[in-house]
Structure 1
């Protein structure tokens, strides 16, 4: 749904303003309430291709220009002199290219992500299912990503994040909202005519939560954990959710 050149300008400006701290996650997007929403933004996949193909083509353009690749033929009679060659996007932000993350929903997409030299961002949903628990399927996705990265010969180490819904039951509010007995499990459903597996939520007393999270193979394989929070419950409660994890769970698991 984005113009890759305009997006590259915005990303470069935002990263410069932030002092090189931008971590930008992008993806093809997920099915929402709007059918073929990309059409409302003026984009239609070429005949014989899909919206996923179009998203990857936009991404390849985006990655090329944020690296400084020239793409525009300069005016031969400019008001001000141009440097030689094709003109790049401005502004340029050094190092931003290494801080782009792709939200991958399958193992094959994770391999493509590695080939493109992007960091891997894997959520609580995979749009495929092999019958194994979600965390094991996601761990395999991460393994394939790292292997594809090594095979591609990129000079730096990639980053990998996974998302989880985790709630430590430390007061009556937590138990009222999420006290379901700690017996959550994966769910399997159909998205875009494909079988998909949704990862479980974690909600339990801190000591039990720690033991459950120790068994999560994907968390162990990743270097970054993103906590998904129920934003409809307000800022104050979500701050409490995060603080509870940092205080009662993270130290025991060695999270920093």
Structure 2
């Protein structure tokens, strides 16, 4: 058995070729996608977060709304860029959204990806400390966020408060019990996967990874997952680790699928996500179900992870993406032993 969710990058563009023309469209359709995924038997609805872009940016209103409209499905992010976040305000937002969903949030956080603007986090009021990189700042924000989610009091109460206080130091409210154990770290390297394990965060490994060995992407990613699991075991955490991978997977079952995705060669690609940071980008999968199943059986990282996130082409609209998810659940998941 494997948990299966979707991951939407939340694009919108006002063009004739897009079914998602505005920010309003993408937000409302994202909620509808979560509902559709729940109806189809998927386990998760996850959303990317990008600032200064025509994409989803502020996740907590969306997660809260989706939580109010669904009953069972996990709701998450992949990922929130912690360079931009005030961890105190974020802890309040996350606690509220998790309580609305009754404990279904699975928050992916990370150092973030290359940006649309130069040092965009500075516009949000966040500046690395002297001698600190923006990645260091992101990890510092993450550590503060995790500590706040523990729910321990830390603020000295006013002796003359407007409302009565409970005894002792005060914590941020609302606090959602258990959310601390449902935080994931988006990692592109073995080293940050080990750090995430030590911090008690689950591992989100995406469709790209730092090219550390020159091996195929899925082989490097599977090794990263195993390194993470070993580090988790050594850390001795009381809760069980989870790992996810993201893949573009399309079962071609009709002419529309074939027109969108048929005939495209799929292979790993190598590029640079930052200067001097060589990365390997994993291949996508698009084929008739029988051939697709055989291809997926060769993917070591999918086999190693307990959660698979299907990256969906959200600009093609809710109906078509529901069809994409249904095809995977009907033709692929049972044959792969995921259901």
Corresponding residue for residue 187 of structure 2: 104
Corresponding residue for residue 146 of structure 1: 229
Corresponding residue for residue 19 of structure 1: 102
Helix, strand or coil: the match of 2:204? strand
Q: CA RMSD in A?
A: 1.3
Q: What are the within-5 Å matches in structure 2 for residues 48-127 of structure 1?
A: 48-127=131-210
User: In 2, Cα distance between the equivalents of 1:146 and 1:220?
Assistant: 14
2:271 equivalent among 157, 181, 189: 189
- The alignment's TM-score, normalised by the length of structure 1, stands at 0.96
1:211-252 CA-partner distances (Å, limit 9, x unpaired): 110111111111010000111211111111111111111110
1:21-72 CA-partner distances (Å, limit 9, x unpaired): 1111111211122121111111111121111111111111111111112232
Q: What are the within-5 Å matches in structure 2 for residues 147-226 of structure 1?
A: 147-180=230-263, 183-193=265-275, 194-226=277-309
- The alignment's TM-score, normalised by the length of structure 2, stands at 0.73
Helix, strand or coil: the match of 2:108? strand
User: In 2, Cα distance between the equivalents of 1:159 and 1:171?
Assistant: 35
Further displaced range: 216-225 or 75-84:
75-84
- Does the alignment pair 1:246 with 2:329? yes
User: In 2, Cα distance between the equivalents of 1:71 and 1:191?
Assistant: 39
**Structure 1 residue 78: deviation in Å?**
2.8
1:127-152 CA-partner distances (Å, limit 9, x unpaired): 33311000010001101110110110
Helix, strand or coil: the match of 1:6? helix
User: In 1, Cα distance between the equivalents of 2:117 and 2:273?
Assistant: 14
**Structure 1 residue 84: deviation in Å?**
4.1
1:180-223 CA-partner distances (Å, limit 9, x unpaired): 25x41100001211100100000111111101101111111110
- Does the alignment pair 1:6 with 2:70? no
**Structure 1 residue 107: deviation in Å?**
0.9
- Length, aligned pairs only: 255
**Structure 1 residue 81: deviation in Å?**
4.3
Corresponding residue for residue 28 of structure 1: 111
1:46 equivalent among 129, 137, 147: 129
User: In 2, Cα distance between the equivalents of 1:91 and 1:125?
Assistant: 35
1:228 equivalent among 311, 327, 331: 311
Helix, strand or coil: the match of 2:246? strand
Helix, strand or coil: the match of 1:14? helix
Corresponding residue for residue 212 of structure 2: 129
Superposition misfits of 4+ residues, deviation over 4 angstroms: none
